[in-house]
Structure 1
Amino acid sequence: MKTRVKIERIIQETREAYTLVLENAPSIAQYLPGQFLNFFLQINGQEVVRQYSFSSSSFIGEPPSVTIKKVAGGLASNFIGEQLRAGDEVSVSSPNGRFTTTFGVARRVLMVAGGSGVTPLYAMMKSILAQEPESQVTLLYANRSSESIIFKKELDHLERKYTGRLEVRHFLSAEDAGLEKQENTVFRKLNRFDFQKYVDAYWKENPEVFICGPEALMNLSVESLTILGLSADQIKMEAFSGMPGIESRDDKPEAYTQVEIKDFNGEPITFMAESNQSVLKSALDAGIRLPHSCKESMCGACKVRLVFGQLNMKTNYALPDDEVEQGYVLLCSGFPQSEKLVLQYG
């Protein structure tokens, strides 16, 4: 469901990153730290949909805010940063996403971020520290230079406020140490030995891990932590951006699949899907507007249940394991693998 909300303020965080402080509208007020909003933007006469994570925490009374980093050639991030102003309204969805946390007993938490991937982690960090007085958090944050560190002053303030409970370690890959030594900064890339030091120190406490950043950083983190003995249940990840080429590929011969979808607006529909592209893209090409939003396997808006046939999800950041076991699939990343598919909503 779309709703219009006003931009109350725009805060310039770094040269490329900025935060939109939104009005506390009822439609977005009940969000969890780590979740995101879909933004529905009208750019050059077309609707462009993008997802941006909350950087705020409702648990400490902050207004709903999302933080966005401009990327070279980025259609939406540059449009918002250059064209929108405080007082403008934007169309957004209700809060989405499963990359979040619940609160309870004291725990040891490791967070690993790269670039703007720190945004949802920053929201969760503030919430955990406020809600769980005995919990401890460590953030390993990778950037190219000190100028690209988002929330630098805020992170320094939180370290002072939560002395002994929060540790932030910066890794700067394209900057020399210079004359000024910084205790919490390492002038190199994050590597597997950094994870080993952490796990060696805290493995008895069964640490919980949250990772968000570029694909290479996430792969390094998961591989290192898994080798060091952490289980899949201890590690939660969020893709920092959509995976390239998710809608189509050309590594197999062209073939077609008959797709039947039940209970779409109360009636079944059928169409032919190409094997070299996602089922969602085939449907849209055929003029059938199935429910969807991000097209990046993150929001779960295109979720259906597979009743018959074979479908391969290229990526999945939205469905938990229990829903996958129940047969649910994402059409935006699902490629047909059989002559016929039967799918069902609900």
Structure 2
Amino acid sequence: MTLMLTGTVPVPLPLDEIKPWNATRQMLVCTSVVDEAPEVKTFTFAVEDGGWFRYMPGQFITVELRTKDGDLHRTYTVSSSPSRPYAISITVKAQPTSVGTRWMFENVRPGSRIRAYGPNGHFSLMLHPAKKYLFISAGSGITPMMSMLRWLFDCDPGADVTFVNSSRRPEDIIFRDELEMLARRMPNLTIGFLPEMRSAVSPWGGLMGRVDRHKLALLAPDFMRREIFCCGPEPFMSAVSGIVRSEGFDMAHFHQESFGASSFARPAQMEGEERNFESTSSALTVTFLGTNKRGDCAPGQTILEAARNAGVRIPSACQSGICGTCRVFKRSGDVEMRHNGGISQQDISSGYVLACCSRPLSPIEVDA
């Protein structure tokens, strides 16, 4: 017998009796929408047919939004913890120019169904365990930090963590109440808020201004001895990395999350191979087996570009080899792929490539 929760989501079976959500596209059902701060909402989802979520705290998922103008794919960091596996949450901030996020604000309600891919990403303390952590974030960059802190609260509440969050105004601090609650329950957690300006809406008597060497030393005096995780707008991350680097910090222990990297950002020497797609002087044929279509891929073009020119739909979001949404199986041929962590070595060995950052070196066939 299947019980129902709020009439839409099945109550899940025990974990050992159901399969975890995997990296393929699956349908999720929204179970709640919560306002966190001005223009910030948390959307929580369950697997439509029952299941549990397996991921590392700090990873991200890609959601597929069926708008009236066509499908949009947007990548969002997970803010929930894998220690609570029956649901997954994303906390998103709508910017003035946002399209996908605005659509979610206006259309996603409890009971709404959305397809999603993931999880992906390497920004996680699970990959860099340490005795002492510094989480430093700005704006919605707090979300992967919150996922990691929630995991520590459930699994290692005695962890030594300093959490510094920068915001524009005091009322813009996301998760402020929960962070203050966790600081009371985790004996070695220190919270430091750093709003840039005062506000009549939410009085503030603490430290203010943009992050700099002096403020960082006040909020995290021993930052040189901590594993640092940084996430936020690019100028913020550049400022933080510049501060710690100038102090002689070992940058092997500095980790930052960014969705703006170039798909060819890493030099060829790091991969132990030469870049040679420029030597291809004529278009190469890409056969899309799933749709029985063919397209020409001009020199330097990606499989994704060839697919669009041929009228073949391959879902994509970041288009820089990070999110893994455009993963396709390559049946034959050779490509040069320059990704930014959006695909595992196991998948590569199995024959998968990311269409957004793979350039054919010969005629190829892909399942798309």
TM-score, normalising length: structure 1: 0.75
- 1:38 corresponds to: 62
- Matches of residues 14-163 of structure 1 in structure 2 within 5 Å? 14-23=37-46, 26=50, 29-59=53-83, 63-102=87-126, 107-163=131-187
Deviation at 1:145, TM superposition (A): 0.4
Q: Structure 2: how far apart are the matches of 1:141 and 1:84?
A: 28
CA contact 1:257–1:341 (8 Å) conserved in 2: no
Deviations 1:75-101 (A, max 9, x none): 111111112211221111242222223
2:266 is the alignment partner of 1:218: no
Q: Return the alpha-carbon distance in structure 1 between the equivalents of residues 106 and 113 of structure 2.
A: 15
SS at match of 2:83: helix
1:201 corresponds, among 222, 228, 233, to 222
Distance 2:27 2:355 in 1: 27
Distance change in 2, residues 1:244/1:73 (3 Å): farther
Instruction: Give the Å deviation of 1:296.
Output: 4.0
1:273 is matched with which residue? 298
Hey, what does 1:250 align to over in structure 2? Answer: none
Q: 1:190 aligns with which of 208, 211, 214?
A: 211
- Secondary structure of the 2:119 match is coil
Tell me what 1:298 maps to.
Answer: 322
Superposed displacement of residue 293, structure 1: 4.3
In structure 2, stretches of 5+ residues that fail to align are 1-23, 265-279
Describe the superposition over 1:83-121 as per-residue Cα deviations: whole angstroms up to 9, x where unpaired: 221122111124222222328976110111111010111
Q: Deviations over 1:250-278 (max 9, x none)?
A: xxxxx96645779977x9x7733365x65
Structure 1 residues 170 and 117, CA, compared in 2 at 3 Å: closer, same or farther?
Answer: same
Query: Is this contact kept in 2: 1:316–1:330, CA < 8 A?
Result: no
1:33 and 1:153 map into 2 onto residues whose CA distance is 20
For the residues of structure 2 that align with 1:226 and 1:38, how far apart are their CA atoms? 32
Amino acid in structure 1 at the alignment position of 2:26: T
Q: TM-score, normalised by structure 2?
A: 0.71
1:296, 1:136 → 2: CA distance?
35
Aligned length in residues: 324
Aligned alpha-carbon RMSD (Å): 4.2
**Alpha-carbon distance between aligned partners in 1 of 2:335 and 2:27, rounded to the nearest angstrom:** 40
SS in 2 for 1:211: strand
- What is the one-letter code of the residue matched to 1:225? V
Distance 2:307 2:318 in 1: 15
Identity %: 23
Distance in structure 2 (CA, Å) of the matches to 1:208 and 1:143: 22
What residue ranges of structure 1 are gaps of 5+ in the alignment?
A: 247-254
Whole-angstrom CA distance in 2 between matches of 1:12 and 1:66: 12
- Deviating more after overlay: 145-154 vs 52-61: 52-61
